[in-house]
Amino acid sequence: MVFIAFEGGDGAGKSTQVAALARWLRARGREVVVTREPGGTELGVRIRELLLHGGEVAPRAEALLFAADRAQHVAAVVRPASERGAVVLTDRYVDSSIAYQGAGRDLRAAEVAQLSAWATGGLVPDLTVLLDVTPETGRARRHDRAEDRMETEAAEFHARVRAGFLGLAQAEPSRYLVLDAAEPPEALAEAVATRVARLLDDATNGEGGDRG
């Protein structure tokens, strides 16, 4: 299997890069499944509405709801697609919970990581593309649309989230591609495609595969 996650703060441009990579892969004859968290399943759509557009949610309840969405997502979308040989691209995965709930909400990151590991059966992406964005840039990019419950958090919250993401990448650099989200989208897409081409070569040669 080849499983790639895109991570980063709000306004980083993840959706744009997911779409660009999907086009690149399909042009090369690959089956691609594009999905997201929360909201990649019917259950996930309902959880997404509660999490992003509902009322106040306690931090621990928030972490549990994200984990529930993720468990269903992996069982219903990610693993079935991977088992038939598709390349799976997800807009957010485990790192978002560790960064947002662990760092942003000041929960214990290790406990949040353990919760997600249990929910996913230990499934780890082959590659995580981290689009690093400052809180200021992210907010400026969102000025022309309504913000969800996470996006309306204070700049200090988003700074902690950013630090959480960067800390994860620094701890396991071989699995991450960290890019400056302020770069032009075309340049970012080229950098992602170059890294993914290497990943696909490794998988073809038997060096990649299911990590969970």
User: pLDDT for 24-48, tens place per residue?
Assistant: 999 999 999 999 999 999 999 999 9
What are the Cα distances from residue 41, in Å, to 32, 35, 68, 73? Answer: 16, 9, 11, 6
Percent of the chain with pLDDT over 70: 94
Does the pLDDT at position 147 exceed 80?
A: no
| Average pLDDT over the chain, rounded to an integer | 92
Domain ranges in the chain are 2-204
Whole-angstrom distance, CA of residue 25 vs CA of residue 27: 5
pLDDT tens string 175-194 = 999 999 999 999 999 999 99
What are the Cα distances from residue 35, in Å, to 47, 87, 92? Answer: 15, 11, 9
Instruction: Determine the pLDDT at residue 186.
Output: 98
Protein fold of 2-204? Rossmann fold (3.40.50)
pLDDT band per the 50, 70, 90 thresholds, residue 210: low
Structure-token pair, residue 141: 């990019």
Does the pLDDT at position 83 exceed 60?
A: yes
Q: Give the residue with greater pLDDT, 160 vs 137.
A: 160
